[in-house]
């Protein structure tokens, strides 16, 4: 299949690995931002093939993982107490809130539905005019256009029973927050290619300038990942800090202007709480006041008391690249995908889930731990 099989070509993988081993003469810590990239590294066994001088750490690029506890509690409350039809992507269903997950609420009789698109939720609202329908709009910039379009579609249809519970987070402010952490030791970044497909690459230029770190926009297949790591390593070895685009077959410098226009019409930038990290200024989207009728936060005015995270869970440290999943004392013990302490163990993009499901690929690191 074009644009897939050739980016999993073992010969190309071997060539990039050989070049990496020739290039790296020092120890470098590189963070891949996206959870999809983390899964690619672990699933394909790339971590074990890296030169000893490349230390890959895993970032907060899993929107499910950073959705705050109280927002999950709010979704559960809407489903159970307000009796709305609560619609969500499948990833959010099993993420634990302070007391229960949406899956547990569904098992208790709440009308929780797993969808593939927010436009399906609009159709459900059309078919159920006597019921309130809420779509749990979680994601980075990548999913924001579709969620914004659902609002515009509902407006055009004149629906008054559709709203979204928005939990959108933005990548560049999170990268800045990571670099501002006094414990951070990140020397280079792999930026998420799908986010840049929407937003373009220019918003990373100020980060390169301020923090003097290489940022390479990278795809998700093994060849993409190794090429992106090689590009980053070459910059580090030369003492350079530039913004480069490895994912040129998909990412244009200006991104997708039409998608960005839809986002800007429905959403505005706001401060956002990140689970396990805290509040990061200007790091999220919220629904503009002009579309307040479609904002579940406004429509239902529900205030949920914040609950503390499990003291046994180190998800925040994992998301900031300070620790790796296997360094958690509860990893694979009291914390598993069936009974997770934190979101990174249950999300399909979570670093902990990647290590748990594909631990053989990370065997060398696990043995060293």
pLDDT digits (tens, 9 = 90+) for 101-120: 999 999 999 999 999 999 99
Asked if 65 and 319 count as a contact pair (C-beta separation under 8 A), the reply is yes
pLDDT tier at 239, thresholds 50, 70, 90: very high
Q: What is the mean pLDDT of residues 78-99?
A: 92
Label residue 115 exposed, middle or buried (CB < 10 Å: 0-12, 13-18, 19+). Answer: middle
Q: Strand pairing of 133-139 and 162-169?
A: parallel
**Tally of CA atoms within 13 A in the half-sphere of 283 that contains its CB:** 23
pLDDT tier at 364, thresholds 50, 70, 90: very low
What's residue 361's pLDDT? 40
Question: Which of 254-268, 300-314, 325-339 shows the lowest per-residue confidence on average (mean pLDDT)?
Answer: 300-314
Q: What is the mean pLDDT of residues 64-80?
A: 91
Going by the DSSP 8-state scheme, the letter that residue 83 receives in this structure is -
pLDDT tier at 2, thresholds 50, 70, 90: low
pLDDT tier at 61, thresholds 50, 70, 90: confident
**CATH of the domain spanning 11-301, picked from 3.40.50.12780, 3.40.50.11740, 2.60.120.10, 3.30.2010.20:** 3.40.50.11740
What's residue 275's pLDDT? 84
Whole-prediction pTM: 0.90
Whats the size of the chain, residue-wise? 369
Q: What is the mean pLDDT of residues 322-351?
A: 85
Instruction: Report the C-alpha gap between 355 and 358 in whole angstroms.
Output: 5
Domain ranges of the chain: 11-301
Given a cut of 80, whether residue 42 has pLDDT beyond it is yes
> Token pair for residue 287?
């629904």
Question: For 134-178, how does the pLDDT look when each residue is reduced to its tens digit (9 = 90+)?
Answer: 999 999 999 999 999 999 999 999 999 999 999 999 999 999 999
Instruction: Report the C-alpha gap between 121 and 149 in whole angstroms.
Output: 12
Please state, for a pLDDT cut of 70, what percent of the chain lies above it. 96
Asked if 146 and 118 count as a contact pair (C-beta separation under 8 A), the reply is yes
What's residue 367's pLDDT? 47
């Amino acid at each position: 299949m074009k644009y897939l099989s050739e980016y999993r070509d073992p010969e190309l993988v071997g060539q990039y690995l050989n070049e990496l081993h020739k290039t790296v003469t020092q120890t470098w810590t590189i963070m891949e931002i996206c959870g999809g990239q983390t899964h690619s590294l672990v699933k394909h066994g790339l971590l074990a093939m890296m030169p000893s001088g490349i230390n890959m750490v895993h970032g907060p690029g899993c929107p499910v993982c950073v959705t705050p506890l109280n927002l999950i509690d709010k979704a559960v409350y809407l489903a159970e107490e307000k009796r709305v039809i609560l619609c969500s992507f499948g990833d959010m269903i099993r993420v634990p809130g302070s007391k229960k997950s949406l899956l547990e609420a569904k098992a208790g009789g709440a009308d929780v539905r797993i969808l593939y698109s927010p436009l399906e939720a609009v159709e459900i609202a059309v078919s159920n005019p006597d019921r309130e329908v809420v779509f749990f709009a979680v994601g980075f910039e990548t999913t924001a256009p579709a969620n914004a379009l659902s609002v515009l579609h509902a407006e055009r249809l004149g629906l008054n029973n559709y709203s979204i519970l928005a939990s959108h987070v933005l990548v560049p402010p999170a990268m800045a927050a990571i670099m501002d952490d006094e414990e951070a030791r990140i020397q280079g970044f792999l930026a998420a290619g799908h986010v840049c497909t929407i937003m373009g690459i220019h918003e990373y230029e100020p980060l390169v300038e301020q923090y003097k770190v290489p940022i390479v926009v990278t795809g998700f297949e093994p060849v993409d990942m190794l090429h992106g790591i090689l590009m980053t390593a070459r910059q580090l070895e030369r003492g350079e800090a530039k913004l480069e685009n490895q994912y040129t077959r998909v990412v244009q410098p200006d991104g997708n202007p039409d998608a960005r226009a839809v986002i800007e019409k429905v959403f505005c930038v706001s401060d956002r709480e990140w689970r396990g990290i805290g509040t990061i200024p200007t790091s999220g989207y919220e629904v503009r006041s002009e579309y307040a009728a479609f904002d579940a936060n406004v429509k239902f005015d529900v205030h949920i008391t914040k609950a503390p995270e499990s003291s046994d869970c180190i998800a925040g440290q994992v998301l900031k690249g300070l620790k790796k999943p296997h360094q958690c004392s509860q990893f694979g013990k009291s914390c598993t995908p069936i009974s997770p302490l934190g979101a990174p163990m249950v999300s399909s993009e979570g670093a902990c889930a990647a290590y748990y499901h594909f631990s053989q690929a990370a065997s060398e690191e696990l043995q060293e731990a």
